[in-house]
């Protein structure tokens, strides 16, 4: 697809600002527009320097494979990705659990159109739907996995409890909620913590700081999950390590409180938190 750059990027935004999603996720310049999906796909490729893997799906792939490896008797039939954008981290769930029905929801029509086209082009069957994660239109107990990546820190703090309560509601008993997120401030090295504050301030991330100040176990249990069902992990990157080393690394994953998490550092590891229902 050829895009007119003047359409995609407002004139007031310079080329170096392209990683900021000028126009945001939802903007539509023409009917049935996919511009913002294209912008997200390309700006993420540029700004992550290959760290997210060739298809930008390393977060979803590493976490789905972690679930498949750690919970060998767990065979999810329905999987939901909240705030899926263009589906970079939705498709790896279908790749890892081919028998599962995989859904991705987002509020952005242009990103969802792009996600649908991208998944079809790759031959992966995903159900993309426009939906607000704070008010899901799915019945109670209809999913085995509720996942998100880089999503919760994007929404106002007051909406996070709504999303977690919805996740609890739509999960079946025994189902798993997992959110890949910014590690909490008290679990980072001083350098990484400073880096995230700097990034949040200068990169227009208004909710970074308030998200990282949250007590994650408290917000999860407030949503209805039992305290002893809370979990958090730091998952090695499948793309960075390759399958053999990744398997070895998985065997040594420690509870996150036992180590400094780091972010986008050597071996890139993904922080996830959540709970089993």
Ligand X SMILES: C[S@@+](CC[C@H](N)C(=O)[O-])C[C@H]1O[C@@H](n2cnc3c(N)ncnc32)[C@H](O)[C@@H]1O
Can you give the binding site for ligand X, defined by CB under 6 A?
25, 59, 83-85, 88-89, 105-108, 111, 132-134, 149-151, 154-155
Which of residues 107 and 260 has its CB atom nearest to ligand X in the complex? 107
CB of 30 to ligand X, least distance (A): 19
Shortest reach from residue 244's CB to ligand X, in Å: 26
- In angstroms, what is the minimal distance from the CB of 73 to ligand X? 27
Considering the complex, what minimum distance in angstroms separates the CB of residue 56 from ligand X? 7
Q: By C-beta, is 214 or 229 nearer to ligand X?
A: 214
The backbone torsions φ and ψ at residue 275, rounded to the nearest 5 degrees and listed phi first, read -170, 160
Output 37 or 262, the one with its CB closest to ligand X: 37
Q: Tokens at residue 1, please?
A: 């697809």
Distance from the Cα of residue 6 to its chain's centroid: 30
Closest CB 108 distance from ligand X, rounded Å = 4
User: b/e map of 101-110 (b: 16 or more CB within 10 Å)?
Assistant: bbbbbbebbb
Helix (H, G, I), strand (E, B) or coil at 273: strand
Rank residues 54 and 173 by Cβ distance to ligand X and give the closer one. 54
CB closer to ligand X out of 151 and 271:
151
CB-based closest residue to ligand X = 83
Exposed / middle / buried, residue 30 (Cβ in 10 Å: 0-12, 13-18, 19+): exposed
Half-sphere exposure of 105 (CA within 13 A, CB side): 16
CA quadruple 185, 190, 195, 198: dihedral, nearest 10: 80
């Amino acid at each position: 697809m050829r895009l007119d750059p003047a359409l995609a990027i407002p004139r007031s935004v310079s080329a170096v600002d392209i990683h900021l999603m000028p126009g945001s996720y939802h903007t539509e310049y023409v009917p049935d527009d996919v511009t913002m999906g294209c912008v997200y796909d390309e700006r993420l490729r540029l700004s992550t320097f290959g760290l997210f893997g060739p298809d930008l799906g390393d977060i979803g792939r590493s976490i789905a494979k972690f679930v498949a490896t750690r919970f060998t008797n767990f065979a999810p039939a329905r999987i939901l990705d909240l705030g899926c954008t263009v589906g970079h981290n939705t498709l790896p769930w279908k790749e890892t659990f081919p028998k599962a029905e995989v859904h991705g929801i987002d509020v952005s029509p242009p990103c969802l159109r792009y996600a649908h086209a991208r998944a079809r082009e790759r031959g992966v069957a995903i159900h993309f739907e426009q939906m607000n994660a704070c008010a899901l239109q799915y019945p109670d107990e209809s999913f085995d996995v509720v996942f998100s990546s880089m999503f919760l820190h994007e929404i106002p703090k007051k909406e996070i409890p709504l999303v977690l309560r919805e996740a609890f509601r739509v999960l079946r008993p025994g189902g798993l909620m997992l959110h890949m997120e910014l590690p909490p401030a008290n679990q980072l090295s001083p350098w990484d913590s400073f880096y995230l504050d700097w990034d949040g301030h200068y990169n227009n991330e208004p909710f970074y700081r308030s998200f990282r100040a949250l007590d994650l176990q408290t917000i999860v249990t407030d949503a209805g999950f039992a305290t002893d069902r809370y979990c958090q992990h730091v998952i090695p990157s499948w793309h960075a390590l390759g399958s053999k080393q990744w398997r070895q690394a998985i065997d040594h994953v420690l509870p996150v409180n036992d180590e400094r998490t780091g972010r986008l550092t050597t071996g890139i590891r993904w922080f996830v938190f959540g709970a089993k229902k």
